[in-house]
């Protein structure tokens, strides 16, 4: 016990929100110090050996623009590790960047994971962090971290619904007494929104755009409801004849593009609500639904969901950072970690 405390004085314990789109790192006592895209740029030499050129923001700038011998890789796909080696190298990079002083004590690390990933996938996350320099690894489920970060009193005997729309997955959880009473994870989230926009533009304008362009469209003019004043933006891409072309895209078009993925999210929320224990259902009528994650920033999403599920829906403060704030809070409160950790 004393040794643990002594080690703690010399170690920069950290929390990592290992997202499909972004990785956010917090250090105990300092808060969030890294918030970068989960992307690694790799160069292959003639002998086939890989060399990391860039990680994070710098690597994301390279997506869709690299020469043949350089690849911009997203090692996390749909909320799980798609490339174990690249994930390990990415985690190592972020740990070293956060742990800038060359400490002789390795940090304890809390990592946020999607709900429902397999034991094999959990093991892969743990091993990635251990081989990247962790002393101990604790795993916390994403809906729980999002709920804590959104300010929900998770240890209360009252039920709350959290909907975390990330890059790869949407996680819907019902929290009560420090645990997840019900939870559902679907592989429909920000990335699927981007792909739907790519497909819509291709089908309606015969224009081919990349997922980075689609993401910009989603951020600039994405909406779940009809707006009083339609938003418009110029979108550049390649047409069927291979020539570069520019179109004007409106928010109504993007709303049409997002219709199907949003329906899938609504269906998952309804499924969780239908399986709710009756005693918790009355709490939810009072407490409503809180949405977090990058997807929560789509215009009018709270209004859209509230009209369909007939419950109050609220967007968390700083929804992009809810999971990171929650994971960071767990790092600072050992009792909370003990209550909710999967370690």
For 61-83, the DSSP string reads TTTT---TTEEEE--EETTEES-
Report in angstroms the alpha-carbon separations of 76 from 21, 104, 252. Answer: 8, 30, 31
DSSP 23-72: EEEEETTTEEEEEEES-EEEEE-TTS-EEEEEETHHHHTTTT---TTEEE
Exposed (0-12), middle (13-18) or buried (19+): which is 205, by Cβ within 10 Å?
middle
Total structural domains within the chain: 4
Check if the beta carbon of residue 94 is closer than 8 Å to that of residue 16: yes
- In this structure, the strands spanning 170-176 and 179-186 are antiparallel
Q: Do 205 and 307 have their domain in common? A: no
- Residue 79 is assigned to a structural domain of this protein: no
- Residue 119 is assigned to a structural domain of this protein: yes
Q: Do 308 and 283 have their domain in common? A: yes
CATH of the domain at 207: 3.90.640.10
Sequence-distant contacts of 179-184: CB under 8 A, at least 24 apart: 179/144, 179/340, 180/115, 180/141, 180/143, 180/144, 181/277, 181/280, 182/272, 182/275, 182/276, 183/115, 183/116, 183/141, 183/143, 183/272, 184/115, 184/116, 184/268, 184/271, 184/272
pLDDT recorded at residue 6: 36
pLDDT recorded at residue 103: 56
Q: Do 276 and 310 have their domain in common? A: yes
Q: Do 303 and 171 have their domain in common? A: yes
Confidence of residue 207 (pLDDT cuts 50, 70, 90): very high
Average pLDDT over residues 285-307: 96
Average pLDDT over residues 278-291: 92
pLDDT at residue 293 above 80? yes
Q: Do 246 and 108 have their domain in common? A: no
Over its C-alpha atoms, the chain yields an Rg (Å, rounded) of 21
Check if the beta carbon of residue 212 is closer than 8 Å to that of residue 65: no
From CA 150, how far away is CA 145, in angstroms rounded? 9
Q: Do 242 and 174 have their domain in common? A: no
pLDDT at residue 10 above 50? no
Check if the beta carbon of residue 173 is closer than 8 Å to that of residue 147: yes
pLDDT recorded at residue 11: 58
Question: Which of 4-13, 274-283, 305-314 tops mean pLDDT?
Answer: 305-314
Query: Which residue range forms the structural domain that includes residue 62?
Result: 39-73
- Residue 80 is assigned to a structural domain of this protein: no
pLDDT at residue 225 above 90? yes
Q: Do 211 and 289 have their domain in common? A: no
pTM of the model: 0.88
CA dihedral for 214, 217, 222, 227, sign (positive or negative): negative
Q: Do 292 and 302 have their domain in common? A: yes
Q: Is 134 helix (H, G, I), strand (E, B) or coil?
A: coil
pLDDT digits (tens, 9 = 90+) for 55-99: 999 888 888 787 878 888 888 888 778 888 888 888 888 888 887
The domain boundary residue, chosen from 238, 257, 276: 257
- Residue 249 is assigned to a structural domain of this protein: yes
Q: Do 233 and 329 have their domain in common? A: no
Q: Do 89 and 26 have their domain in common? A: yes
Report in angstroms the alpha-carbon separations of 310 from 60, 174, 175, 266, 296. Answer: 39, 17, 20, 12, 18
Q: What percent of the chain has pLDDT over 90?
A: 55
Q: Do 31 and 43 have their domain in common? A: no
- Residue 152 is assigned to a structural domain of this protein: no
CATH of the domain at 330: 3.30.420.40
pLDDT at residue 265 above 90? yes
- Residue 150 is assigned to a structural domain of this protein: no
From CA 265, how far away is CA 94, in angstroms rounded? 31
- Residue 49 is assigned to a structural domain of this protein: yes
pLDDT digits (tens, 9 = 90+) for 165-196: 999 999 999 999 888 999 999 999 999 999 99
pLDDT recorded at residue 208: 96
More confident: 160 or 63: 160
- Residue 149 is assigned to a structural domain of this protein: no
Confidence of residue 100 (pLDDT cuts 50, 70, 90): low
pLDDT digits (tens, 9 = 90+) for 238-249: 998 889 999 999
Residue 26 pairs in a beta bridge with 15, 32
pLDDT at residue 144 above 90? yes
Q: Do 136 and 247 have their domain in common? A: no
């Amino acid at each position: 016990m004393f040794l643990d405390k002594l080690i703690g004085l010399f170690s920069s314990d950290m929390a990592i929100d290992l997202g499909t789109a972004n990785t956010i790192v917090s250090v105990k006592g300092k808060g969030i110090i890294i918030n970068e895209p989960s992307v690694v740029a790799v160069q292959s030499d003639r002998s086939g050996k890989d060399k990391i050129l860039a990680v994070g923001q710098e690597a994301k700038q390279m997506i869709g623009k690299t020469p043949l011998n350089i690849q911009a890789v997203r090692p996390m796909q749909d909320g799980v590790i798609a490339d174990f080696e690249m994930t390990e190298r990415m985690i190592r990079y972020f740990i070293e960047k956060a742990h800038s002083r060359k400490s002789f004590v390795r940090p304890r690390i809390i990592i946020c994971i999607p709900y429902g990933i397999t034991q094999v996938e959990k093991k892969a996350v743990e091993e990635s962090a251990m081989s990247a320099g962790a002393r101990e690894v604790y795993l916390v489920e994403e809906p729980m971290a999002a709920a804590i970060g959104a300010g929900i009193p998770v240890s209360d005997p009252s039920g709350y619904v959290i909907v975390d729309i990330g890059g790869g997955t949407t996680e819907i959880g019902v929290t009560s007494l420090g645990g997840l009473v019900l939870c559902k994870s679907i592989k429909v989230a920000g990335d699927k929104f981007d792909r739907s926009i790519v497909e819509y533009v291709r089908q309606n304008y015969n224009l081919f755009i990349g997922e980075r362009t689609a993401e910009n469209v989603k951020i600039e003019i994405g909406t779940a409801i009809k707006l009083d004043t339609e938003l418009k933006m110029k979108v550049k891409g390649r047409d069927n004849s291979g020539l570069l072309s520019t179109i004007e895209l409106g928010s109504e078009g993007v709303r049409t593009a997002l219709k199907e993925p949003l329906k899938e999210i609504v269906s998952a929320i309804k499924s969780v609500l239908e399986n709710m224990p009756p005693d918790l259902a009355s709490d939810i009528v009072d407490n409503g639904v809180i949405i977090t994650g990058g997807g929560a920033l789509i215009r009018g999403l709270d209004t859209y969901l509230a009209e369909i599920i007939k419950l109050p829906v609220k967007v968390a403060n700083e929804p992009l950072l809810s999971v990171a704030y929650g994971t960071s809070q767990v790092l600072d409160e050992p009792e909370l970690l003990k209550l909710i950790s999967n370690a």
